[in-house]
Amino acid sequence: MTAQDRPKAVAGPQRRAQLSLFARNFFKHPKMLGSIIPSSPFLVRRLLDRIDWERARVVVEFGPGVGTITRELLRRMPPDSTLLVLETNQDFVEFLEQSLPDPRLQVVKGSAESVQAELERLGLPPADYVLAGIPFSTMPEDVRERILSGSVDALSPAGSMLIYQFSSRVLPDLRRVFSAVETDFEPLNILPARLYYCSP
């Protein structure tokens, strides 16, 4: 692997602020986050390698946290695209708004269950991609069902949902809701992550 191929990571004071905020919120809401530190650059790259950037005009991210994946999405997305992020944690919402002043970014304090309503409110077409690292395995079954079904409805016919988890418990639900599900694995993350690429 050359230096150019290595995944990029945020450095310096901003990275320290990210880690500190993420760790504090992990101890307050461990079931919401699942890990004490944000996703590794290796996981971010493996997940985003599945995106066709030429057609990534509307992208949705559930639970962006401190913006580890959000930053890389914005770095790669076209100038005329929109990134809608849905985050329930007010600390993370404020951090994202302050640290990522990008006109393509729409930060909404709200649940992933409201994805369709938010797309409509913002006058956006169906999403080309929905990304999610929220802990499906620890949420109530009815909430998980509403989020997955709502995600299918929020996607364009050629869209995809890209999911990373630290457990495989959500896989039967994904196979029931989506017409096709590919699986992948990234060991270079704390914790090692399972990835699912889902098509409606």
Q: Which residue has the higher pLDDT, 80 or 22?
A: 80
pTM of the model: 0.83
The confidence band for 19, taking pLDDT boundaries of 50, 70 and 90, is low
Are residues 147 and 185 in contact, defined by beta-carbon separation less than 8 angstroms?
A: no
What superfamily in CATH does domain 35-199 come from?
Vaccinia Virus protein VP39 (3.40.50.150)
How far apart are alpha carbons 166 and 6 in whole angstroms? 23
Residue 8, pLDDT > 50, answer no
Q: Phi/psi of residue 41, each to 5°?
A: -60, -30
- Would you list the domain boundaries of the chain? 35-199
pLDDT in tens, 124-180: 999 999 999 999 999 999 999 999 999 999 999 999 999 999 999 999 999 999 999
Give the helix/strand (H/E) hosting 141.
helix 141-154
pLDDT at position 84, please? 98
**What value does the mean pLDDT take over residues 97-111?**
97
